[in-house]
A and B are shown apart, each in its own frame.
Chain A
Amino acid sequence: MISSEGIIATDITRKFAAAAATLAPGELVKDGHFTLFESVGALEIMDPKMDSGCLAPGESLDEEYDVARPLLPSEVLGIIDQLLCLEMAWHLGYPLSQTLLTNVYIEAILMPAPATIDEADFIRNRKDGAPRDPMFAVLRAYCLGLLKSCWYVCDRIKFEHYYEEEDFVTNTYHRSLLDNIDRDLIRDELMTARSILHNIRRTISEEMAQALSFRLELRTAFLRAIELSDLRSNPESLSLPWSQMKAVWEPISKSHRLGTPVPEAFSTKIQRKLASTMPPRPIVHLSFEETYEHFRKLFADGIDVLKVLNYSDSQSLLNFVLTFQAQKPQPLVYIRTLLQTFLFKDMIILGHLSIRHVIDDDLAIVVLPCSRLLDPSNDDIEAPYDPRFAMAHQMELFRQRAAQSYLDIFRALCQNRCRVRRTLYHAIQDWETVQMDAMAIDRLLQVQLEENPIVYKPSFFVIEEDAPDPAYCLPLSSWALLYKLRLMEWIVQLGFELETYQPDELAGMYWYLGHLAKTRGQLVERIKAFTLHRRANHRPPLTQTMEAQYDRSLAFLRAMMLDSVATWEFARVLSCIYTVLLRLKLIVPPPRPYSTDALRYEIRMKPFLSITMPELPTFEEFTHGTTQPECSIAALLESASGAIGSARKSFDVLGKLSEQDAFTVDTHERWLRGTKNCFKSIIAASIAISTLSDATKGGVEGEEGLGLGLEVVVPKPEKGYHEWWIVPKITRKR
């Protein structure tokens, strides 16, 4: 009998059925706002595939498993290890309903929701004062530590930017993961359980007691790591619990064999008690070996990510985030959200820096070393006719305009790789307008600075032969353009990494990448010319600190130049190689009956279409640049081997830079590994060139490559040395 105040329920069963029966076949009575399309998503009750609450004939709703049955130490260990596998599966993106919430002990702890630490037990009706069974105490303490850390993990992830369908499921199905129970109380339970283990170590064997104790230690350390991460300072002390986890992880995996699995303690039946619109789903089974690897990586990344807190300069910070996120496999979403927290929480960068501090640092490195524009004392000027007053005002306008876009770069890089690429699409549109607005502010500021235009002639990358007009420095818009160009290059390079392009498109896309990198090189050269000019004409003479600032900026421009030259040359090499392979018909485009090259170019380049600087090459320019019809195969290979020499040299010099000069403080090792991998890709490419040169020496001009006896494999991005450089494997057929 169900009752509630003020509501009366009338039985309308017969009336309803009779009324419905008069409807013509196929006729519906439905709410006007309800569409049949919506009903597709409805759960069909009593259908065992859809309805998690549907019981098989004779099946009981309750778990038949008795949580009060005595457990052997080896069984407790087996259950804990199974929980470790499920916890990792959850971290990897499976929902709790298919992982931890399939465990009967956890279910018994969480339902009904415990109000106190004592109620948080799978055995609720224990007599007052009666001691817990030692094995129950261990399993319970482990589960409490596990659930509490899951609550923190979930809470952290929810707070930051992530993608529910792609990264992580935060749904807890109306179960509270012990959020009302104090962390310290749980830590006490873990401590108690460890001392219990110590006391009974003779009875259950030293080895077993140790193995269980390590697992409890892992939980304690995890809670501690989470607690400390809120501090966002002093990475050395923050990394202690992570190191502790790393240290106990080895003995934990070694003692896995001591456990006896208890599969009956896990059941999907529990799903029918969860608030869920999902049909029943199976338990996720991750092997202990996989779990081991993922946790090992988690702890290593946990230690690594803390280094971001050692702020040295804005460019090292960017390189840190770039290289940290480029790791394969990518760090788990929890680590990625931790990184976001470190970076942005409460709009305080890394826990102690203002956004202004970071942006000004970046402007000083990239375009404005020792500039009056960045002098903080400008803020104190109150006379409106003083140029410094205007400078302070305009710079503040600029910061307000650019800060969000600048921070969004970091935020975007913290997402999963596919999302990084998608987010950058939007970011470049944004930077397009930042650049426009910066241009307007530049024009106002050059008046305040009484800047004289200089005749600037590009030397390295020659664009035009005419004597150029005198030009202004335009620092802020140059800064914005540099970011926009880098983002555009990353979009194309992520396209290689994510296998967005077909093998026959690689020639064109590498050509475009080269085009962008060349543009960046020209920009860096321009910035450098103005920086040198300002340095030479500095009045009064430079102090030592100022010299150091100029040196730092020039070091950055040098590294940036090396990087753009290396990218430009290497992209050109690969474009030539793929063009040769296309000509030799060693790479054959798939049949595309409903598409033309021009249409595909339009689609491919859509994100870049609205960018006015650099303007997207026309389809004709693109085709001409890619196919290079005026060059013979021999000429193409020759120009490739010329370019490869200079790419090689650039990567080589780049790899020898100190971490200060490469702007990779605290991430140098990882960055260097990436650079070395690029270098290896170059070696692979030069082998490809020489194989092609040898095979075409006889002069098979323009005709079928099949006769050359060559075999070409375009490797998957992860199979090459570097995901951004897809070097074809060319071998002679036996």
Chain B
Amino acid sequence: MEDTRTSLKEARDVAREEAAEYLSSLLNKNLRVTTTDSRMFWGAFKCTDPESNLVLQHTYEYRHPSMQKQAEGSAAAAAASAGATLTSTPGSAVANQTFKMDMTSRYLGLVVVPGEHIVKIELEEFVSQMKKGPQYRSPTEL
């Protein structure tokens, strides 16, 4: 009984250490953090705490075009494809045509993103530098 408790505690300590190590490995890497209002913040990861509050440096804010602007863009794309048949994929219906729009962005500098407003965190890595070896896996994934 005593043994299991110690080993559980040890296991927890190990997990905690690994977690801290993992978080430290992310420091100064570029993260894309999406918030509940579907904005995305892109900046260098500087600091976090148990609530996943994130400090990002040199941050840019990216915002999806508003619904209205998207509708306009879609209409414009549709009009363009109707005119120039060369670019439209044969057989694709105009209605579900995909089109590209630039997200609007602006520079914000140093920001804190509170954990409660975060819906998604993405890590950016260069393809050339991605590690192949074993990576940290969170306890929930185990």
Contact = CB atoms under 8 A, between A and B. Distances in A.
B111 A19 contact: no
A30 B47 contact: yes
B97 interface: no
A17 B55 CA distance: 14
Interface string A96-110: 000000000000000
B49 A273 contact: no
A46 B20 CA distance: 27
Interface in B91-135: 103-104, 106-115, 117-128, 130
Given A2-B32, A17-B52, A45-B35, A53 B121 contact: no
B127 A15 contact: no
A23 interface: yes
Given A7-B125, A9-B122, A44 B111 contact: yes
Nearest to A51: B111
A9 B123 contact: yes
Given A22-B19, A277-B110, A30 B121 contact: no
A43 B50 contact: no
A14 interface: yes
A631 interface: no
The SS class assigned to the A binding surface is: loop
A424 B51 CA distance: 52
Contacts of A43: 108-112
Interface in B43-93: 46-52, 55, 57, 61-63, 66, 68-69
A27 B50 contact: yes
Interface string A12-47: 111111111111111111110010101101111111
Given A22-B15, A55-B37, A275-B107, A31 B28 contact: yes
B9 interface: no
A41 to B, nearest CB: 6
A41 B49 contact: no
B122 A23 contact: no
Given A43-B110, A61-B66, A15 B50 contact: no
Nearest to A39: B55
> Which one of A8, A19, A21 has the highest number of Cβ atoms from chain B below 10 Å of its Cβ?
A19
Could you say which interface size class chain A belongs to? 35 or more
Contacts of A16: 23, 26, 48, 52, 121
Contacts of B119: 13
Interface string A43-78: 111110000011100001110000000000000000
B47 A61 contact: no
Contact of B27 (A15, A18, A31, A277): A31
Contacts of B138: 14-15, 18-19
Given A44-B114, A45-B114, A277-B108, A29 B121 contact: no
A60 B68 contact: yes
A421 B24 CA distance: 50
A9 B50 contact: no
A31 B130 CA distance: 21
A630 B37 CA distance: 79
> Which one of B20, B36, B115, B121 has the highest number of Cβ atoms from chain A below 10 Å of its Cβ?
B121
Contacts of B19: 18-20, 22-23
B101 to A, nearest CB: 11
Nearest to A59: B37
B18 to A, nearest CB: 8
Given A9-B123, A34-B57, A19 B136 contact: yes
Contact of B50 (A21, A45, A54): A21
A28 B48 CA distance: 6
A25 to B, nearest CB: 6
B12 to A, nearest CB: 8
B111 A12 contact: no
A174 interface: yes
Contact of A9 (B28, B32, B68, B114): B32
B128 A6 contact: yes
Interface string A260-295: 000000000000011111000000000000000000
B111 A42 contact: yes
A97 B6 CA distance: 60
Contacts of A545: none
B138 to A, nearest CB: 4
**Considering the complex of A and B, which 6 residue pairs feature the smallest CB-CB distances, nearest first?**
A18-B138, A30-B47, A19-B19, A277-B109, A9-B122, A22-B19
21 contacts: A8-B124, A8-B127, A16-B23, A16-B48, A20-B48, A23-B16, A28-B48, A29-B47, A30-B27, A31-B46, A34-B46, A34-B55, A39-B46, A39-B112, A42-B111, A44-B112, A46-B114, A53-B39, A60-B68, A276-B106, A277-B108
Given A44-B114, A45-B113, A46-B114, 7 more contacts: A16-B48, A19-B23, A22-B19, A29-B23, A31-B47, A61-B66, A277-B109
Interface of B: 15-16, 19-20, 22-24, 26-28, 32, 35-37, 39-41, 46-52, 55, 57, 61-63, 66, 68-69, 103-104, 106-115, 117-128, 130, 136-141
Interface of A: 2, 6-31, 34, 36, 38-39, 41-47, 53-55, 60-62, 174, 273-277
